[in-house]
């Protein structure tokens, strides 16, 4: 197994592994360790069927269902993340950490590329631990102990789900989820602190009026995705991206209108942020 960093902030490509053959315990542990170190890892040339993809996810954690979109046939924890030729808005097309509006947001998420456009459709990732560490000590003290409020109904991100809910939505009426989590989260495995607010889901700060919290949040939303905290992944067919949702944000770039992009996604169970 070879591990190659792709940027200074986060991200590494792993080669020399054939996931279709299954993973030994040693290989699984090495991949999991790489995730903790680099926050997002990439594996190319992995032509996996749904069961093989699910097996990889199970080796990394506990797959769970996504709240709004039903899974593919026979695999309720694998959803299609797609943008079709006639669609203009891409699923999740805004900087975010996945489903922070849940009481227990996911530990991580993974995407497997099924169809990629001839150009565009890259995904950006941002290191939230570096973003926190770059703040002044005074700002860090201000943020420590604050609680952010997340909602699944924030308008900008709700719009990015509309096409998928229309075609692949669950039969039940969409529920609005709201949760409260620390503005600064301590990683449960590494102990590093990182920002845990995001422009897609964070709607306020507990105990503050909107006019008080909005300027602070606006500053954080801009700060946490500065270029020096990011990496960019250019998709190829049968590639996997697996990111630590507790310490990294992501943003799929919507620059391939007129072309189809289809991914399979699995979300892994997490714990309550502290």
**Angle at the Cα of 60 from the Cα atoms of 187 and 116, rounded to 5 degrees:** 100
Q: Please, what is the angle between helix 25-38 and helix 50-60, to 10°?
A: 70
* Active-site entry in 98, 164, 181, 264: 98
3-state DSSP assignment of residue 94: coil
Q: Could you tell me which of 105, 196, 195, 109 has the C-alpha nearest to residue 152?
A: 105
Query: Is 210 one of the catalytic residues?
Result: no
248: how many CB neighbours lie within 10 A of its CB?
26
Query: Is 96 one of the catalytic residues?
Result: yes
Query: Is 98 one of the catalytic residues?
Result: yes
Residue given tokens 């289809």 in the structure block: 262
Query: Is 265 one of the catalytic residues?
Result: yes
Determine phi and psi for 40, rounding to 5 degrees: -145, 135
* Active-site entry in 161, 201, 246, 265: 265
* Active-site entry in 164, 246, 250, 264: 250
* Active-site entry in 96, 164, 261, 264: 96
Active site residues: 96, 98, 250, 265
């Amino acid at each position: 197994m070879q591990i190659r960093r792709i940027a200074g902030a986060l991200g590494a490509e792993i080669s020399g592994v054939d996931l279709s053959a299954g993973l030994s315990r040693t290989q699984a542990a090495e991949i999991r360790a790489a995730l903790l170190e680099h926050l997002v890892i990439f594996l190319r040339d992995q032509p996996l069927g749904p069961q093989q993809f699910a097996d990889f996810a199970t080796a990394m954690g506990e797959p769970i269902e996504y709240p709004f979109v039903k899974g593919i046939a026979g695999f309720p924890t694998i959803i299609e993340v797609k943008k079709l030729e006639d669609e203009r808005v891409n699923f999740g097309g805004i900087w975010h950490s996945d489903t922070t509006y849940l009481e227990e947001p996911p530990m991580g998420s993974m995407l497997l590329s099924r169809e990629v456009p001839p150009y565009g459709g890259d995904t950006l990732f941002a290191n939230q631990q570096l973003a926190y560490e770059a703040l002044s000590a005074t700002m860090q003290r201000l943020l420590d102990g604050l609680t952010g409020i997340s909602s699944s109904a924030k308008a900008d991100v709700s719009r990015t789900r509309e096409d998928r809910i229309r075609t692949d939505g669950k039969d039940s009426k969409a529920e609005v989820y709201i949760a409260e989590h620390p503005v600064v989260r301590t990683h449960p495995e590494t102990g590093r602190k990182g920002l845990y607010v995001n422009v897609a889901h964070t709607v306020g700060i507990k105990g503050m009026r909107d006019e008080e919290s909005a300027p602070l949040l606006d500053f954080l939303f801009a700060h946490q995705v500065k270029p020096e905290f990011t990496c960019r992944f250019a998709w190829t067919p049968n590639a996997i991206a697996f990111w630590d949702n507790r310490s990294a944000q992501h943003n799929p770039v919507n620059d391939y209108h007129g072309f189809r992009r289809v991914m399979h996604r699995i979300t892994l169970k997490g714990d309550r942020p502290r």
